[in-house]
Amino acid sequence: MAVAETQQTGKLVRIAGPMIEADGMHGVQMGEILRVGKLGLMGEVIRIEGEKIFAQVFESTEGMYLGEAVEATGAPLSAELGPGLLAGTFDGIQRPLKTLQESSGDFIGRGITAVALDRNKQWAYTPVAQIGQQVVGGDTLGTVPETKVIEHKILVPPGVSGTIASIKAAGDYTVEEVIATLEDGTELKMYHKSPVKISRPVHKFLPPTEPFLTRQRVLDMLFPIAKGGSAIIPGGFGAGKTVVEQSMSKYSNAQIIVYVGCGERGNEMAEVLTEFPELVDPNTGESLMNRTILVVNTSNMPVAARDASVYTGMTLAEYYRDQGYDVALMADSTSRWAEALREISSRLEEMPGEEGYPTYLSERIAAFYERCGNAILCGSDATGDNPRKGSLTAVGAVSPPGGDFSEPVTQTSMQVSGALWALDSALAYRRHYPSLNWNKSYSLYFEGLKGWFDENAPAGWNDRRQQAATLLQRENELMDIVQLVGPDALQDAERLILEVARMIREIFLQQSAFSDNDAACQLDKCFGLLESILIYGEECEKVLAKEIPLTRITDLPLREQIARLKEEPNDGFTAVKDKVIENFKQALGALEAN
């Protein structure tokens, strides 16, 4: 959006919670940022009627009065993108919370402004581009070691192109210093601004062919998603949505994590702010915050800031994707965002849709998830033999009232996301973690990922996955019979199906978030644990074929031996698993011989 030539100033004529109306604002654009009242509160234009504008204010409007000045800034809501974002904690409009605390204390005052990036800190810059080089948006000017594990690439902003006339030598510079100048006079710094509600461009989106590994067995084996894909996690109160997203933040194969707490309870966000800095990244041994950005917006903050927070988080994620990283965005929760849209829409007196949500709810949610993807990135090398690639994966938690998945936010999210990880409160109350309902969940990515699993996962991965899914489905059918006529109506072969399915549920699908050896599961261990259960079932079938009662088989302490495999470390698991399989084969063979 172009910057206005002159600032437009009007007056407040209406205040309705976070929504204000101002008159005398000729020339203001949709999405433009305003400064409202004596405190200079930030607001965003959301409707224009002649010289009247309607805006949502990102802070409380309490104490404001009609007639106060409203001033347009000429720019949309934008994020500052440059070194210094990682390990940062920001509010919904990208004000750093640490800076706000230093200036205002624990209770943030209204009207306080703060830049996202430290203007005084110097960064060790190393140039990559050269004088006389033609550059376009997305090209790398140089690099900065942002943290011990992440090298930050200083990018030419989208839409900028030209020939480099001068470029700084290696040295320490602040983000405000000009590091390169183009022949047309354009000055480039270590940072630039990007509108948060406009997706950053890519050269080309690619088909999803590589999995986003969560290290949660039920997800990686039964319902995987691809890098660049999207998934939603709906679940009722206490079902474990936040815990699942936090586990993925720690253990997934994403290189950068952007965690957005949108409208969550203050105690939950306080827990995130306390625990994340203490978490150790299992991949590097460093603090997990060294590759994490937190965007915090609690439920007691104005609803307009909720709307901004999801877009701010998405823009930060896109920026690191554009550097060539695999980025994961955790949004918790999109239902709170939708509730903010509903409240703003009602104050604008718009025609409501289903359950009072605005009629454009589906468009907003679809546009959000469509910013994900695995892509060839913009730059001079985009059409070459070895283009830069990056991915952005989004996982959105959904909080349906009463756990009702038929409500509009869940249904709309299901239509535009690629996977449904449906959490079940009944499983959560039984301490089954992750409390994912395997009968309701699905993934649309598995067909595209089969080739990767064939090449990189243990042999037989796809076959064993199908076998496990079939057993769980068969168990569900048999349980309907059991509830009608009781278990005595089943044959031993059918009871064996129930026994093996129970082992899959309780041993394989259930993990412990507090066990170092079970909280995260590598592919070899994931496959080996499932394989041991399925081989046990196959061996039991052979024994049943000899007319040996199932009760004699289940009396053997074989199930416990397999269950103990969960606590084996990932390293060396295969050898222990093979020994356990050999042991129960011998035990079943002895039973058959006797």
The β-bridge partners of 194 are 79
Helices (H), 33-149: 97-104
For residue 4, pLDDT beyond 60 = no
For residue 574, pLDDT beyond 60 = yes
For residue 2, pLDDT beyond 60 = no
Q: What is the average pLDDT score of the chain?
A: 91
CATH class of the domain comprising 204-446: alpha beta
When comparing pLDDT for 279 and 543, which is higher?
543
pLDDT digits (tens, 9 = 90+) for 349-384: 889 999 999 999 999 999 999 999 999 999 999 988
Confidence of residue 117 (pLDDT cuts 50, 70, 90): very high
Cα–Cα distance measured from residue 112 to residue 82, given in angstroms and rounded to the nearest whole number: 22
Residue pair 232/420 in contact by the 8 Å Cβ criterion: yes
Cα–Cα distance measured from residue 13 to residue 25, given in angstroms and rounded to the nearest whole number: 12
Task: Identify the CATH assignment for 9-77 out of 2.40.30.20, 3.40.605.10, 3.20.20.80, 2.130.10.10.
Answer: 2.40.30.20
Percent of the chain with pLDDT over 70: 99
What letter does residue 504 receive in the DSSP assignment?
Answer: I
Extents of the domains making up the chain: 9-77, 204-446, 461-593
Confidence of residue 60 (pLDDT cuts 50, 70, 90): confident
Confidence of residue 589 (pLDDT cuts 50, 70, 90): confident
Tell me what pLDDT residue 130 has.
Answer: 94
Tell me what pLDDT residue 525 has.
Answer: 94
Cα–Cα distance measured from residue 153 to residue 156, given in angstroms and rounded to the nearest whole number: 10
pLDDT digits (tens, 9 = 90+) for 141-194: 999 999 888 999 999 999 999 999 999 999 999 999 999 999 999 999 999 999
When comparing pLDDT for 261 and 299, which is higher?
261
Element (H, E) at 415: helix 408-416
Confidence of residue 5 (pLDDT cuts 50, 70, 90): very low
Tell me what pLDDT residue 3 has.
Answer: 42
For residue 537, pLDDT beyond 60 = yes
Considering the entire predicted model, what is its pTM? 0.93
> DSSP string of 189-234?
ES-EEEETTSPPP-SEEE---SEE--S-HIIIIIS-EETT-EEEEE
Cα–Cα distance measured from residue 74 to residue 503, given in angstroms and rounded to the nearest whole number: 62
Out of 122-126, 197-201, 272-276, 350-354, pick the least confident: 272-276
Fold match between domain 9-77 and domain 204-446: no
What letter does residue 343 receive in the DSSP assignment?
Answer: H
Residue pair 336/303 in contact by the 8 Å Cβ criterion: no
Q: What angle do CA 417, 242, 245 make, to 5 degrees?
A: 55
Q: For the residues 505-534, what does the mean pLDDT come to?
A: 92
Greatest Cα pair distance in the chain = 96
CATH code, residues 461-593: 1.10.1140.10
Residue 262: strand, helix, or coil = strand
pLDDT digits (tens, 9 = 90+) for 222-274: 999 999 999 999 998 888 888 898 889 889 999 999 999 888 777 777 777 88
Cα–Cα distance measured from residue 346 to residue 433, given in angstroms and rounded to the nearest whole number: 39
Confidence of residue 7 (pLDDT cuts 50, 70, 90): low
Residue pair 256/327 in contact by the 8 Å Cβ criterion: yes
For residue 6, pLDDT beyond 60 = no
Q: For the residues 529-542, what does the mean pLDDT come to?
A: 93
